[in-house]
Amino acid sequence: MYLESPQLLLLLWLLPVLGGLLLYAQRRQAAAANRFAGDVMLQRLMPVVTSGRGWAKAAVLLFGLGLLIFAASRPRWGVYFEDVQTRGVDMFVLLDVSRSMLAEDVAPNRLERAKSDIRDLLQYLKGDRVGLIAFAGAAVVQTPLTTDQGFFQMVLEDTDPDSAPRGGSLIGDAIRKALEAMEPRHDRDQVIVLITDGEDHDSFPAEAAKAAAERDVKVICVGLGDTNEGMRIPIRDDSGQLSYMKHDGQEVWSKMDEALLKEIALTTSGAYIPAKTRAYDLGQVYSQHLAGLTRGEINSEKRKRYRERFQLFVVLGLAALLLEMVVPRYPRQREDPMSQVRA
């Protein structure tokens, strides 16, 4: 037997309390009647209540309520197997983990903000396969395409600037890595979500976008960071001392490159999301731009199920309550034949 909501069985502790209240009420009633009249007068005014009948009615009432509480916990038994098909799209999330993503023009920084938005996105990916690629100086597949969101989130949590080799931000290589990791499919759509500040170091992203377009892979580009002045890239040593990245003695200011991301989105018939330094809902973006995607069968399997049996206990519980209502509290009084003779 399997209970869907076993925590509801805690309500059974209310039955002893209710039983005690019934006993207390019965004794209060008897005490009030004795104060009102003596024993002889009381027998003439009130019918005799046997203790057995009172206890039986209380037991039936508590038994019925107990059955209804047990039914609420949704007992199940009897195994059957159900065919379950999972349908969805294939999606790779490309997450820029270069040092420029540590800029703090987006709180707490660009990288942590991107990871938070990816978690929100997962709530919209019911049945979809999703993978994660971290890229900086090279692209690294963190998770292959999977429907296991728990595993995906665990890997995402540990993703940081050390997840990919440093030395630049190669957007084109990341797109090509995603195309390599997704085998061409014609029964479902395939999507790439690119989250970056748009900086690229000669990885030919335009050519990679054309290759994606040839395979009908849409790219949603999310641009994080300030496009005007930009932001310095913080560096903290082991003691927590803050400094900023420098190149040739000058502090490096990272600005988001909108033009590149717009070009990638346009080439692949995807979408460009100018998040910049504002708040945005990546899941809502996904539902707006990709709601009509073709979802193919990811897998088909037989899942073990237990049959619902709560109906039986509901019927028995209601029957017990009905029995308690129809059984009279007082026995029927037989008419005394001598009273008719005296009359």
| Separation of alpha carbons 309 and 147, rounded Å | 32
Residues 95 and 20 in one domain: no
Tokens at 295, concatenated: 């979802």
Residues 160 and 94 in one domain: yes
Backbone angles phi and psi of 290, in degrees to 5: -125, 20
Say yes or no to pLDDT of 223 above 50: yes
pLDDT tens digits for 42-54? 555 555 555 567 7
Report which of residues 10 and 233 the model is more confident about.
Answer: 10
Residues 100 and 221 in one domain: yes
Residues 106 and 70 in one domain: no
Domain hosting 287: range is: 90-294
Say yes or no to pLDDT of 289 above 80: no
- Who's near 36: CB < 8 A, 6+ residues apart? 42
Count of the separate structural domains present in the chain: 2
Is residue 214, in this structure, part of any structural domain at all?
yes
Position of tokens 């890595």?
177
Is residue 173, in this structure, part of any structural domain at all?
yes
pLDDT tens digits for 147-164? 888 999 999 999 998 898
Residue 238 DSSP SS3: coil
Reported pTM? 0.60
| Separation of alpha carbons 255 and 258, rounded Å | 9
Is residue 246, in this structure, part of any structural domain at all?
yes
Between strands 90-96 and 129-135, the pairing is: parallel
Supply the Cα-derived Rg of the chain in whole angstroms. 36
Is residue 299, in this structure, part of any structural domain at all?
no
In 3-state terms the chain splits into helix, strand, coil percentages (rounded to 5) of 45, 25, 30
Instruction: Yes or no: say if 338 and 66 are a contact pair by the CB < 8 Å rule.
Output: no
pLDDT of residue 341: 47
Say yes or no to pLDDT of 20 above 70: yes
Residues 288 and 322 in one domain: no
- Who's near 95: CB < 8 A, 6+ residues apart? 111, 114, 115, 118, 132, 133, 134, 135, 159, 195
pLDDT of residue 300: 47
